[in-house]
Amino acid sequence: MNLLSQLHTTESDVRSIVSAGSDERHAEWYAQILWSPTGRWAWLNTAGWLTELVVLFRTILMPGLAAMIPVFVLAAPLVFTILQGRSISVSEYIKILSDAIKRALPPVMGKPRFAGRGGPLEVGEQFLNIAMSVGVFVASLWSQVSSAIKMRVVVADMRKRAASLRTYAKSVGILASTLGVRLDSSVRLVWDDMDLGAFGQGWNMTDSLEKLLEAGGHLDMLVAVARRGFTCLPAVGDAISVTDLWHPGLEAKRVYNSLQMGSGGGAAEKTKSNHVILTGPNRGGKSTLLKSLGAAVLMHQTLGIVFARRASLPVFGAIQTALRPADTLGSMSLFEAEIDFARGIRDLQHDGPLFLMMDEIFHGTNAHEGTEAATVFLDWLYAQSVSRVFSVISTHYLDLPRRYVDTQRLCMEAYPTNDGLRYTYKLKEGINEYSSVREILKERGLLRDA
């Protein structure tokens, strides 16, 4: 079993120790073996040998003692008479046994009614009293034994979880060393060699367990990301530069695209605009490219990874996207929602640079009004300081890329063939004026050939 498999198979057991104190199914049993983790004697929980003695006493010695009491009561009269060197009759044995039981237990049937009368009534009452007392003994014994059996089951579960804890901690340590990851000093990797001692440590130190689980999850994520290929640790720069960017949701059919926005930082690199206007036909890949770039920006600032061969990005003070604006029934149309988003961008206060993406800007109205609204907003946006804003705007309004010639005018490549448009999903310079509307209408059966 490899290290990742060990992490996955033991993680649930480790998490169960974290929640052990709040698990009503087990907390009652744990409290019979372990001290409260917040009590003054909690340090005893870490002594595995002491916990083993407690378990031995509760599950072996106590039931054994309960089983020996009735045996002692039954055998004591015979042993004493033998030691005295005399014989004992059955009636005398019954009387001695009855007297012993009466002293050991309160009368089960209350005050004797036929004592001293002799005859079968007195003997019968004595037998019945003995039988009832024996029944009480048996019930008590069964209660002790069944309780011990249940506790042994709980202890076996504790041992299993403790073994999983040691395995998990060991796997985290080896995996971190293999990957060259430096773990925080608060991550505890060494736990008691005795199962109940390790469980007691976890019972006391849930914070340490949570940090261990967090470290294991982080390492698991790093391995998962590395296995996907073309995943990099991005650099921090003043410009956006990604090489062979791809979307992690498209594992089987990856298409790699590269993009630079702003100064490349080298003499051979030509400075490019911070702003991109993206065109292309429907289903040509515009939205997927935007999502790929958005994921790169977000993961760069959170997890520190990017799904690309190489990447360098700024640390943004604000990240704003309008990939799927929505109307509000009875109060706001889609176009109004888009206007509100644009106004929010204009009024936004941010310390670092802004990263903005809008998919099909102002598409919630007709082309004339959508173009007019987009022009008002983009005139303001492109007038902002070049170091303050990076934007990618996709659109079907071709007047926009023709108007803003100082932006990067990019498109998703598509070209006509005898069988219709061919989509490469590759990013290229220029304006793509091809339309896929009639082709899609035909495919969906809404438009029929003459």
The last residue of one of the domains, among 181, 197, 224, is 224
pLDDT, tens digit, 9 for 90 and up, residues 9-27: 899 888 888 887 666 766 7
Same domain, 42 and 74: yes
CATH code for the domain of 328: 3.40.50.300
Tell which wins on pLDDT, 56 or 362.
Answer: 362
Number of domains comprising the chain: 2
The last residue of one of the domains, among 193, 224, 255, is 224
Give the tokens for residue 85.
């060197």
* CA separation for the pair 34, 37 (Å, rounded): 8
- What range defines the domain where residue 417 resides? 235-443
pLDDT value of residue 266: 47
Statement: residue 5 has pLDDT above 90: no
pLDDT value of residue 296: 96
Q: What angle do CA 309, 310, 313 make, to 5 degrees?
A: 140
pLDDT value of residue 126: 62
Tell me, yes or no, whether 449 lies in a domain. no
Tell me, yes or no, whether 230 lies in a domain. no
Same domain, 185 and 290: no
Same domain, 309 and 436: yes
Residue 22: DSSP 8-state: G
pLDDT, tens digit, 9 for 90 and up, residues 314-340: 999 999 999 888 878 777 898 899 999
pLDDT value of residue 420: 82
Give percent of the chain above pLDDT 70: 85
Tell which wins on pLDDT, 347 or 66.
Answer: 347
Statement: residue 425 has pLDDT above 60: yes
pLDDT value of residue 311: 95
Statement: residue 215 has pLDDT above 80: yes
356 forms beta bridges with: 320, 391
pLDDT, tens digit, 9 for 90 and up, residues 367-414: 999 999 999 999 999 998 767 899 999 999 999 999 999 999 999 999
How far from the centroid of its chain's Cα atoms is residue 49's Cα? 34
pLDDT value of residue 115: 55
Tell me, yes or no, whether 131 lies in a domain. yes
Give percent of the chain above pLDDT 90: 34
Mean pLDDT rounded to a whole number for the chain: 83
Tell me, yes or no, whether 450 lies in a domain. no
Q: What angle do CA 256, 238, 232 make, to 5 degrees?
A: 40
For residue 300, what pLDDT band results from cuts at 50, 70 and 90?
very high
Same domain, 20 and 80: yes
Query: What contacts 71, CB < 8 A, 6 or more positions away?
Result: none
Same domain, 170 and 297: no
